[in-house]
Amino acid sequence: MAALEEEFTLSAVPLGAGPDGLLGVEQCDKTDQFLITDGGRTVILYKVSDQKPLGSWSVKQGQVITCPAVCNFQTGEYIVVHDSKVLRLWTNEDVNLDKVFKATLSAEVYRIHSIPGTEPLVLFKEGAVRGLEALLAEPQQKIETVISDEEVIKWTKFFMVFRHPALIFITEKHGNYFAYVQKFNSSVLSKYTLLLGQEENFVIQSFTASLDRKFISLLSLSSDGCIYETLIPIHPSDPEKNQQPRVVRSLLLKTVVSGNARNALSVLDQDHVAVLGPPLPASKECLSIWNTKFQTLQVSKELPQGTSGQLWYYGEHLFMLHGKILTVIPYKCEMSSLAGALGKLKHGQDSGTQTMPHFVNWETSQGYGLESKNSEPSKRILRRRTIEPSVQPEVPASQQLLSIIKKDSEKHIEIELRKFLATKRTPDFHTVIGDIAIGLLERCKTEPSFYPRNSLMQLIQMHVLSYSLCPGLMEVALEKTDIQMLQLCLQQFPDIPEAVTCACLKMFLSIGDDNLQEIDVNMESVSDYSDAVQDEKMEEQMGILQNGFNPEEDNCDNCDKELSKKPQKTVEETTSCPVIPKRAALLNAVLHSAYSESFLLPHLKDIPAQHITLFLQYLYFLYLKCNENATMTLPGIHPPTLNQIMDWICLLLDANFTVLVMIPEAKSLLLSLYKFVKSQICICSELNKIEVSFRELKKLNQEKNNRELYSIEVLELF
Amino acid sequence: MGEFKVHRVRFFNYVPSGIRCVAYNNQSNRLAVSRTDGTVEIYNLSANYFQEKFFPGHESRATEALCWAKGQRLFSAGLNGEIIEYDLQALDIKYSMDAFGGPIWSMAASPSGSQLLVGCEDGSVKLFQINPDKIQFERNFDRQKSRILSLSWHPSGTHIAAGSIDYISVFDIKSGSAVHKMLVDRQYMGVSKRKCIIWGVAFLSDGTVISVDSAGKVQFWDSATGTLVKTHLVANADVQSIAVSDQEDSFVVGTAEGTVFHFQLVSVTSNSSEKQWVRTKPFQHHTHDVRTVAHSPTALISGGTDTHLVIRPLMEKVEVKNYDAALRKITFPHRRLISCSKKRQLLLFQFSHHLDLWRLGSTVATGKHGDTLPLSKDADHLLQLKTKGPENIICSCVSPCGSWIAYSTASRFFLRRLNYEHDNLSLHRVSKMPACLRSAVQIMFSEDSTKLFVASNQGSLHILRLLEGSFKHLHTFQAQSGTVESMCLLAVSPDGNWLAASGTSAGVHVYSVKRLKLHCTVPAYNFPVTALAIAPKTNNLVIAHSDQQIFEYSIPDKQYTEWSRAIQKQGFHHHWLQRDTPITHIGFHPKRPAHILLHDAYMFCIIDKSLPLPNDKTLLYNPLPPTNESDVIRRRTAHAFKISKKYKPLLFMDLLDEGTLVAVERPLDDIIAQLPPPIKKKKFGT
């Protein structure tokens, strides 16, 4: 896992960095030492671990260093160019740059490159390249022009490719980019045109490159904030052809920084890049490490004082100007796990939008809760859409919404909420939603007339609320007799307390039919229980023994007589749905909700007996419906299961048996339930009898198979 | 390979005794098992679960408790009120000591292994000090109202929990007084039972006491406050046993319904430190009561009335998922209970208190493979020889000529002479056995029935010359100096010149009977010997080990034979090495010296040394006869191991003559039929 360590600053005195920052940070021949060239006249040699300068050299007043100082790894000398054409070479012992070796060249130098293992190279502004030794031998030699007139070198890097030096430089001309690869073993210069893809109107802000076997992987950071990768072959496939090969950029990482500021990019290793720049247009600049393989943000560090948009990476150190001070951040990348890599970012689903919010840093969001910058993106959108200049810029959208909830009208809240919900979800979305719901409910409590029903419904339908996130919601709905919302809650919440479930049940059973007709209820769990046609069907079905149960069975002695008095009525009761479909839908919602038996039982006792009877009748009706098909299921989209039905029947009987026995209306129902249980017991005892018989049969069978105790057999071994 | 007439014998009415206790020793990875007849067996779990040693049972010595103490000493206690220590080297009882508390129901060694606690019928808990040579009574704890059925030490050794009837007591070791008395609910599913028997307790280091009782409950108690913490109702019948792992992160209980439940200490939520005991896995490997359980670091071990010893490896603890990770069910002893007189076609069956002598039948018919031939004469039960006294028979042997029967109990050696006069059989007792012949671990007759070889339990070997109706003591090979290890296995060469004897750990010793001295010692091998035999003519000693390796050692040359080297070089077929049960008998073909017959409980094999050895690619066992394959293919695929799995479980097999085999089977169903009926469980309508 990539990690940034504690930063430290290098210079006690601020560098005289110009508006363009430093000229460069370069490695030295000794480890831990770096040459830092500021934008003016000074070169400082730093020992990074000690955080102190070892030496400092300046050019004369009037002279300007034009190219960062480098170290010649072969000789240990330092080289710098001032006034574009004057080369200076010196060592640690020299004090005054004026008195050291000087060579004046015939053309303007763009950069001097030096890496360990080879002699330094001088790249001229016209694109020509010379070795330092050859140049020093004949400083005034003629330098040819390689690139065309208005082409300007933008960026350059020097590599060792299989022990041979290679130089890549990028030029720009009228918004077109070209890449040149100069190899020195074969002195071949290859030119490539960089095709930018669709985003041609974006400016490339920063380049970085790394070697990937046969390719140079050139990463570029465009002003749209995305990182693109271009693979440039090291060995040109067909150098004879004079046609310019083209290389295409491909998108590597999306929207890692906001494009407007000065951003910088540096490859750390195969899978990691460091990006410097503000993640959002308004936010502070950040140094972020991204994993390109998993497209995840590994770590990010805010640099509130701003940077110069420059980033250097050597060994394990990242160098940048933070404010005016040169800052070093040690960087480490250990073995990372997939889970660790994935944990940082939820990928945005909306692909095209440029305003996609950036990453979330868990560390910061934990501390601040809602006021963290996580909600900033939504705030930004909100600010853009609502014309409300008075809002302070730092307040997140949810906070604004909460303050709106406290005072504004229901209508306005609804509009604002819709706007809020339309924005991108942040990881703490559910807590935000919960807070909004609680905010709404609080106002409900203080203001009896306030009931933002639509807003609450909207929140519930986000599928993120649970009972524990907004404890008062269902109570309020119960108070307002909001059947529809209660049904929605029962369907959505996984953790409703049994007392509330029971209260809902009570309400669903007690509300009048005519009241129900006016309410809009989700009917998907209720299939067409229309009775007229099915009555006949049921009669037929009764003939068949379903699971051994036949209410007309004549083995029930004393109850039989009573039942036979009005058998017609019983059948009617059981075959037509005892409740209207809307109530059925509501009761189904209760059946579906989770409960724990021991907590539910005491509450069930509070329901009036006639409602219990009604509910039992309904359950019994459902049970008979179940029996109509072989799979023992009900028709419909999300019907109650047989187990739910049976469990509820048992629960209701357990809770209210003494009461039910007393009331005459329940008598026929209880009788039929009794008969049902009795027939089930019969079946079980029959099965047990059969089991014994089967066992005896099995024993007989075994004895038959068992050969006698002694026999002589013939066996052949093969 | 050849055609055989096989006498398929199923009238050996052997029923193993039910398992009463198991005790696992972590240091040596050995398992001690005691059975209801008082037999104690030692299994070496490292040596492929081989039953290394056994101590014969005794009618009055019903073991109720078994435990290991410091220095791998094994103690048992039983309903005769005695504590017994076993001598694991000499395979003898070291001493027995009366605890004077009536029948002993429970016993536990302290965590340090230096103290022993017994719980008695009279409600007393007695503490004994374990001295190097003996145990010494130290003191009594406060006497309880009723018998102490279970005991468990706290791992620190400061407290103990004792399960009695209806309550659990916690004692302080120092004061010997009861600190807490925790009453157990008698209620069982709403019905009040008469009594609630605490069958087992376990004291954990955090002070939790786990109890299992006759009401089917597993309960967790806080011993500091004496309060009930949690109850798991696991069975409708008694929960009879409990064992906790050393790490105290899992335990196992066994119920009278034959179910074994595994409990584990599991985090309440992932990555939370709060843990709770959760019933994780039920195992139903038994049909009857699980009287005892043990918890080794990698396996759950259970045993009970259905006589099976079940070793169920915990898959999460097994590092290598090889054949060792498979379930083991050990039913039959790993020693021979049957001997055979080839000449007279007699079989001698050894039971715990009697011997049965049978004569095999005969037939004149012939048939082809798979036929059952009509019998011209059925098998006869000739003799039943009952021992006097309460001791079990250790070993027995019938001579090849059929006229001698020798057997031994723990205290006496018996020799009987049989006379056959037409169809009448008369039995004569040979009296005045020499004083040195007190008891025997193994008995062997020479092929010509003139010599008797007896391995005594002090490590010495005796040779007796048998004359008509009398005997003469010829010689005694004393045990190797410094060892008292008993020789459990004997083998005599058919010419009577060589005697091979093997103990459980050291190598096989070969003695010259002619010169009466030690001839050589076969180098010791890591795994114990399970069977020994000396081949006729070549005098090659064939040795089978518990890891299923077979060696052939030439006695005259004092070195392994070429064939043995070849098979060791190539290695045995992996299916051969994966067999469960050890080879218990080795025999030879009288006419074909290259053939070796071996058998375990589930197969027999004739190895033809002249054929090429099978490699892992060839099929080791092909049950189907070759059909339309040509002779060439048959010859090419033929290999040395000819295996048949037709007879199982196979307790004995030998070649009577060149074309006749005798196979003694003991079908498991017949054993189950003789067991008491298991608790009936309803299948329908709960």
A700 vs B42 pLDDT, higher one: B42
Average per-residue pLDDT for chain B: 89
Q: Do B369 and A715 touch (CB under 8 A)?
A: yes
B631 touches chain A (CB under 8 A): no
Q: Distance (Å, rounded) from C-alpha B138 to C-alpha B117?
A: 10
Q: Distance (Å, rounded) from C-alpha A103 to C-alpha A90?
A: 12
**Closest partner CB to A717 (pick from B11, B371, B606):** B606
Q: Distance (Å, rounded) from C-alpha A483 to C-alpha A508?
A: 8
What is the pLDDT averaged over residues B497-510?
86
**Closest partner CB to A691 (pick from B1, B373, B684):** B684
Whether residue A544 is predicted with pLDDT greater than 50 in this model: the reply is no
User: What sign does the dihedral A441-A443-A449-A453 (CA atoms) show?
Assistant: negative
Confidence band (pLDDT; 50, 70, 90) for A377? very low
Whether residue B280 is predicted with pLDDT greater than 80 in this model: the reply is yes
User: What sign does the dihedral B231-B237-B240-B241 (CA atoms) show?
Assistant: negative
pLDDT tens-digit map of B458-500: 788 999 998 887 888 889 888 776 667 788 899 999 998 999 9
Q: Which of residues 389-428 of B touch A (CB under 8 A)?
A: none
Instruction: Give me the percent of chain B exceeding a pLDDT of 90.
Output: 59
Residue A249 confidence (pLDDT):
75
What is the pLDDT averaged over residues B352-377?
90
CB B355 within 8 A of CB B385: yes
Q: Distance (Å, rounded) from C-alpha A51 to C-alpha A36?
A: 13
| pTM above threshold 0.90 | no
**Closest partner CB to A712 (pick from B7, B369, B625):** B7
Chain B nearest-CA residue for A689: B684
A710 touches chain B (CB under 8 A): yes
What is the pLDDT averaged over residues A52-70?
84
User: How far is B621 from chain A, CA to nearest CA, in Å?
Assistant: 10
Q: Which of the residue ranges A183-187, A328-332, A343-347 would you say has the lowest mean pLDDT?
A: A343-347
Residue B254 confidence (pLDDT):
95
Confidence band (pLDDT; 50, 70, 90) for B625? low
Residue A242 confidence (pLDDT):
54
What is the pLDDT averaged over residues B285-297?
93
**Residues in contact with A233: Cβ distance below 8 Å, sequence separation at least 6, in sequence order:** A214, A215, A216
**Residues in contact with A116: Cβ distance below 8 Å, sequence separation at least 6, in sequence order:** A27, A29, A73
B57 vs A251 pLDDT, higher one: B57
Whether residue A375 is predicted with pLDDT greater than 80 in this model: the reply is no
Confidence band (pLDDT; 50, 70, 90) for A354? very low
Chain B nearest-CA residue for A686: B684
Q: Do A710 and B682 touch (CB under 8 A)?
A: no
Cβ neighbours of B370 in A, within 8 Å: 713-715
A24 vs A575 pLDDT, higher one: A24
Residue A463 confidence (pLDDT):
79
B13 touches chain A (CB under 8 A): no
Q: Return the axis-axis angle of helices A609-626 and A498-510, rounded to nearest 10°.
A: 90
Confidence band (pLDDT; 50, 70, 90) for B655? very high
B8 touches chain A (CB under 8 A): yes
Confidence band (pLDDT; 50, 70, 90) for A557? very low
Whether residue B551 is predicted with pLDDT greater than 80 in this model: the reply is yes
Write the DSSP assignment of A279-344 as a string of letters: SSSSSPEEEEEEETTTTEEEEEEEETT-B-S--EEETTEEEEEETTEEEEEEEEE----HHHHHTT
Whether residue B361 is predicted with pLDDT greater than 80 in this model: the reply is yes
User: How far is A680 from chain B, CA to nearest CA, in Å?
Assistant: 9
Whether residue A12 is predicted with pLDDT greater than 60 in this model: the reply is no
User: A71-85, A493-507, B11-25, B416-430 — which one is most confidently predicted on average?
Assistant: B11-25
Q: Which of the residue ranges A151-165, A388-402, A668-682 would you say has the lowest mean pLDDT?
A: A388-402
Confidence band (pLDDT; 50, 70, 90) for A157? confident
Residue A393 confidence (pLDDT):
46
Whether residue B110 is predicted with pLDDT greater than 70 in this model: the reply is yes
Write the DSSP assignment of B563-601 as a string of letters: HHHHHHHH---HHHHT-SS---EEEE-SS-TTEEEEE-S
Residue A308 confidence (pLDDT):
77
Cβ neighbours of B378 in A, within 8 Å: 710
Write the DSSP assignment of A480-532 as a string of letters: TT-HHHHHHHHHH-S---HHHHHHHHHHHHHS-HHHHHHS----TT-----HH
Residue A282 confidence (pLDDT):
72
Instruction: Give me the percent of chain A exceeding a pLDDT of 90.
Output: 1
Whether residue A532 is predicted with pLDDT greater than 70 in this model: the reply is no
Whether residue B255 is predicted with pLDDT greater than 90 in this model: the reply is yes
Residue B160 confidence (pLDDT):
94
Residue B192 confidence (pLDDT):
65
Cβ neighbours of B361 in A, within 8 Å: 710, 712
Instruction: Give me the percent of chain B exceeding a pLDDT of 70.
Output: 94
What is the pLDDT averaged over residues B150-178?
93
Cβ-Cβ pairs closer than 8 A, A with B, add up to: 94
Q: Which of the residue ranges A292-296, A466-470, B420-424, B641-645 would you say has the lowest mean pLDDT?
A: A292-296
> Structural domain boundaries of chain A?
400-496, 498-528+574-664
Residue A248 confidence (pLDDT):
73
Chain B nearest-CA residue for A713: B372
- Residue A389, exposed/middle/buried by CB under 10 A (0-12, 13-18, 19+)? exposed
pLDDT tens-digit map of B63-83: 999 999 987 899 999 999 999
Which one of B13, B369, B647, B650 makes the best mutation probe of the A interface by having the most chain A beta carbons within 10 Å? B369
Residue B67 confidence (pLDDT):
94
Residue A588's nearest CA partner among A604, A602, A577 is A577
Q: Which of the residue ranges A495-509, B247-261, B621-635 would you say has the lowest mean pLDDT?
A: B621-635
Cβ neighbours of A687 in B, within 8 Å: 683-685
**Closest partner CB to A718 (pick from B1, B363, B661):** B1
Residue A292 confidence (pLDDT):
80
Residue A352 confidence (pLDDT):
36
Q: Do A716 and B368 touch (CB under 8 A)?
A: yes
pLDDT tens-digit map of A254-271: 777 776 667 888 888 777
**Closest partner CB to A702 (pick from B2, B669, B683):** B669
Q: Do B371 and A691 touch (CB under 8 A)?
A: no
H or E segment at B203?
strand B198-203
pLDDT tens-digit map of A619-653: 988 888 887 777 777 777 788 888 888 889 988 88
Residue A373 confidence (pLDDT):
37
The single residue listed with the structure tokens 């005694």 is B476
B369 touches chain A (CB under 8 A): yes
Average per-residue pLDDT for chain A: 76
Q: Which of residues 671-700 of A touch B (CB under 8 A)?
A: 680-681, 683-685, 687-688, 691
Chain A nearest-CA residue for B11: A709
Residue B294 confidence (pLDDT):
95
The single residue listed with the structure tokens 């408790």 is B65
Confidence band (pLDDT; 50, 70, 90) for A569? very low
Whether residue A147 is predicted with pLDDT greater than 60 in this model: the reply is yes
Whether residue A612 is predicted with pLDDT greater than 60 in this model: the reply is yes
Q: Do A709 and B683 touch (CB under 8 A)?
A: no
Q: Do A712 and B372 touch (CB under 8 A)?
A: yes
A336 vs A509 pLDDT, higher one: A509
A705 touches chain B (CB under 8 A): no
**Closest partner CB to B6 (pick from A684, A706, A713):** A713
Confidence band (pLDDT; 50, 70, 90) for A390? very low
What is the pLDDT averaged over residues B103-109?
95
What is the pLDDT averaged over residues A238-254?
67
Whether residue A535 is predicted with pLDDT greater than 80 in this model: the reply is no
